[in-house]
Amino acid sequence: MRLTIRRIILASLAFFIVTSCIFTYIFSGSPGLSEMMDVVYQRQDKFSIEGFRENDISVRRELHYSNKQDHIFEDFVQSDQSKIKQNKQSGGIRRRLGSKAETTYDLSEWEQLPIGEQCGAFFNHWRQKNPDWKYSKDLNYDKSITDKGFFFRLQRDRVREQKKSAKRPNPDVITVEDNIAIEEEYKRIVDMTMATQRNMVETTSLIRLFGKCFLEKNNKDAELYEDLAKRFFPYINGQLPSFENAVTGESVVDGYPGATKPYEFGKDHLFEYMQDNSNGKGILISASNRHARDLIKLIRLLRGLNNKLPIQIVHKGDITAKNRDYLKMAASHEVEDFLDESLATEYKSIYPEINLQDVKEIKKTFGSEFPKQDLWFVNIKETIDNSYKYEFPGYANKLLALFFCSFRDVLLFDADTIPLIEPEEFFRMKEYTSKGAYFFRDRSLRDFNDYVETNYFTNLMPTRAQNSMEQLFKIPVVTAHTLNNTYMAGWRHLQESGVVAIDKSKHFLGILMTLPISVWREPVRSSIWGDKELYWIAFSAAGDENYIFNENEAASVGELQVSRNLVSYNNSMTREVCSTHPGHVSADGQLLWVNSGFNYCKKNGHFRDRNKFPYTNMNNNDLRSLFDNPLHITHAIVPPPLPNLRSVGNEIDNTKETEFKKFWKVRPKDVDEINEYVTDADQIVNQIDGWNPQKGWVKTSICSGYMYCAFDVVDNYSPFHEVFGPNSGFLDYEKALSKFSPGQDKGKFFEFPKEKVNYYKFLSKVWVTGSTKFKLIETQEEKEERERTERERNEKIKKLSDQKMVRLKSKLKQVAGQEDPDAKESAEKEQVAENDVVQVQNVERPQRKDHRPEPGNPLEKKS
Ligand SMILES: *[C@@H]1O[C@H](CO)[C@@H](O)[C@H](O)[C@H]1NC(C)=O
Ligand SMILES: *[C@@H]1O[C@H](CO)[C@@H](O)[C@H](O)[C@H]1NC(C)=O
């Protein structure tokens, strides 16, 4: 090309126009122009949908656990380039471990070292290099970084709002500058989130090594142990909780009850003491005042189940003396008092054919002897450092209880858990005896989680087999046992933690690992509901996959709906059980426990729900009786399991997942989806006769949204696997629907035998008749107080009578001369003693408002 004058002029002109455009744009802020520029800019660059998508993929990739760096390893093991060359012939890669001043080993030498020395070599090196390392609690993580489009939408809305309130012209126009500013903010958030993830990954990795070295007692350096424990678990202040026997009042403040050795604060190492002195099997419940009513009922139920395990109720000083008294009474009353029908109206109204007071008959029919319970209160208030008082979420009380309790075999219950077998049986089940950690599955609801969540949790786990600290310390890398579980496969709910059975001696580190994770706010708290998923997550993060889930997912437990005008799918093969109670059926079909108490609905009475289907098709008395009686257990349905939404390894590309979800939209709808946005009552669809349910659980609005209906036959979840294939791009909906075979996915249906149904009725009656009314029995303090008053009174009377006797004697002497004084003395004393009894009976006994005083049974006189 030749440089002609014309071309130069044209080029200069073009340059001038472009420059002046930019100039005008920058200095005039002309909306028209900037808007125009914006469009041009956006179409071809990173602010477009396409640009966002590309960005998301690259952020997802960067966050992916397979790209996780092991910084601790890199710092500890420095490849020595020259040595690599030298050793290539001999096939070994020589590595220098530690800083120059330290001994160096090659990998095979390292492997020959006793683990204790490996621990010392590593942690001394690490401590020297990181003298100021502290556990970080205030970390920020923003899950939206993998959805840049969403991030921009939010931020642009914010910018518009700001402009509006600042009364700027054209507030709705997002300028290039705005986009650039948002981009800056986005980058800042990405960097922050990546740093947070690195920090959390490093912390969990260090704690794993700490567990390997010190909890497994491989290294005996007490100073190192203590120092590391303080850095990694700064919230644990080294105190044990105080234990108080609810019945005898016995209090244990210097160690674990039943331990052979007391705990010396400041001398013994807390973790070591806990590991060596946890003992026995027991039931553990974390509770506060608001759980008192449920606890009274639960303790009754445990008596009905012949429970012989001790119970520890863990609190933070937030159970009043009054409530403790109730619980003590529930645990220790004589069976006749405990089952006195005057204490609750439910005795007469509920299952009148079951007479709880006929103790003999009850024992014969149900085998229940209502043993007294060995109940303890455990106060953990002083065990947590003050600076962390508000750092644990409420649900972490359960985790702290698990960590601090004195049992070795722990059966952790929620206050509203309903065990339906003798609790000790949980420990005899093969799941427990084989693994020492037995968990239960939640309802297989079709709620999904997000890549960023499952990937985050995977990052906390040991995932690198090579070039990692895991490799150096032979910590097993997490397997498909975790990575292919329901949560990791893309579903929101895996664990239901109303019952958790753990052998602390086998899983100490796993339990300990729940604590640092529960202190972190994001992304932990928004990714899981309460403590639910934390058990398996923490165990796997600890490198401990030795836990097992009950085979069956949660069942809907209640009564089979037989009437066609009461079922939601009235032309389907499916069976239907609607219930507010998820329950858990063992592999061999035994119903083990249900959740949410024993009431039909724990939230409200029948009145609030009377205008909702299917109650509209029931008569009022039947409806009322349904709500007023306890849950009637005759059947259970475990719906078919969900297919994997995400494959093992947490795919970075989410196309398949997105297509899967889109497929739901072209399928027929379930009643909950049809009615989701319907506000007009007449428009609500109650029954469907054209197809089967599309998912195993359908939510209803009954019982404040707690009721779900479960189905054992579902139109297959994923015909599309064949159509979609592992490699094909997008789903062919036509083809998918043509392959759709109605009712293909089958769940499990259970019908319980008559004796069991009766037994559940009996248990439900025992539970619902629990109340805060008790026959008065003295507490230890009351007894002592009474005895003290009695003693004082006796002394006073004796003194008086002695004085009187002296006077009498002298009078007698005066009046009658030398008659028998001893006979008179004893007569006098007897009279005094009788007065004494009468007076003690009249002593005002402490009475509580809700207590019904014990009828006319005089207190025993102390001899
Ligand atoms: C993951 O789970 C699915 C379904 O439960 C199963 O078909 C698949 O074989 C599992 N994959 C691995 C690697 O275990
Ligand atoms: C199912 O119920 C609807 C109304 O609720 C009714 O119109 C329909 O006929 C019923 N179908 C069958 C097969 O019973």
Query: Are 569 and 687 contained in the same domain?
Result: yes
Q: Considering only CA atoms, which of 713, 715, 719 is closest in space to residue 737?
A: 719
Mutation test of ligand 2: which of 571, 572, 576, 615 has the most ligand atoms closer than 8 Å to its C-beta?
A: 571
Rg (CA), the chain: 36
Q: Within 13 A of 340's CA, how many CA atoms are on the CB side?
A: 19
Nearest-ligand number for the alpha carbon of 685? 2
Q: Does residue 320 fall inside a structural domain?
A: yes
In whole angstroms, what is the distance from residue 114 CA to residue 863 CA?
69
Same domain, 582 and 689: yes
Residue 495 domain-assigned (yes or no): no
Ligand 2 neighbours (beta carbon < 6 A): 564, 570-571, 686-687, 689
Mean pLDDT calculated for residue range 41-55: 75
Domain residue limits at 28? 5-42
Joined tokens for residue 360: 């003999």
Based on the domain organization, do 180 and 244 belong to the same domain? no
Q: Which residues pair with 95 in a beta bridge?
A: 79
130 within some domain: yes
Query: Would the pLDDT of 849 be above 50?
Result: no
Whether 434 contacts 587, CB under 8 Å: no
C-alpha 297/C-alpha 291 separation (Å) is: 10
Q: Quick one: DSSP state of residue 544?
A: -
Nearest by Cα to 586 from 416, 762, 755, 750: 750
Has residue 792 got a pLDDT over 60? yes
- The residue with tokens 């969540």 is 453
**How confident is residue 799, by pLDDT bands cut at 50, 70 and 90?**
confident
Let me know if residue 722 belongs to a domain.
no
* Nearest-ligand number for the alpha carbon of 644: 1
Distances (CA, A) of 579 to 497, 596, 633: 19, 11, 10
Q: Mean pLDDT score of the chain, rounded to an integer?
A: 84
Q: Specify if 340 maps to a domain.
A: no
Structure tokens at 662: 């889109």
**Residue 802 and residue 756 in one domain:** no
Which of 182-191, 344-353, 723-732, 784-793 shows the lowest per-residue confidence on average (mean pLDDT)?
723-732
Q: Is the same domain home to 749 and 786?
A: no
CB of 484 shorter than 6 A to ligand 1: yes
Per the model's pLDDT, the better-predicted residue between 807 and 256 turns out to be 256
Number of independent structural domains in the chain: 5
Task: Note the pLDDT of residue 602.
Answer: 92
* Least confident residue range of 75-89, 476-490, 539-553: 75-89
- Dihedral (CA of 78, 81, 85, 86) sign: negative
Residue 478 belongs to some domain of the structure: no
Asked if residue 446 is part of any domain, the answer here is: no
Specify the higher pLDDT residue, 423 or 862: 423
718 in contact with ligand 1, CB cutoff 6 A: no
* 108, 156: one domain: yes
Question: Do 763 and 787 lie in a common domain?
Answer: no
* Substitution candidate for ligand 2 out of 573, 574, 687 with most atoms within 8 A of CB: 687
**Is the C-beta atom of 480 inside 6 A of ligand 1?**
yes
794 lines ligand 1 (CB under 6 A): no
- Give alpha helix (H) positions in 549-707: 606-609, 620-628, 655-666, 671-674, 702-705
Same domain, 296 and 386: yes
- Rounded Cα distance between 98 and 770, Å, is 64
- Residue 648 beta carbon below 6 angstroms from any ligand 1 atom: yes
The mean pLDDT of 733-744, rounded to a whole number, is 63
Please write down the HEC assignment for all residues of 182-249: HHHHHHHHHHHHHHHHHHHHHHHHHHHHHHHHHHCCCCCCHHHHHHHHHHHCCCECCCCCEEEECCCC
Contact 786, 859 (CB under 8 A): yes
Q: Does residue 297 form part of some domain?
A: yes
- Portion of the chain with pLDDT greater than 70, in percent: 82
* Domain shared by 404 and 255, yes or no: yes
On the question of a cis peptide bond just before residue 423, with omega within 30 degrees of 0, the verdict is no
Instruction: Express each pLDDT in 682-717 by its tens digit.
Output: 888 999 988 889 999 999 999 999 999 999 989 877
Query: Are both 816 and 755 inside the same structural domain?
Result: no
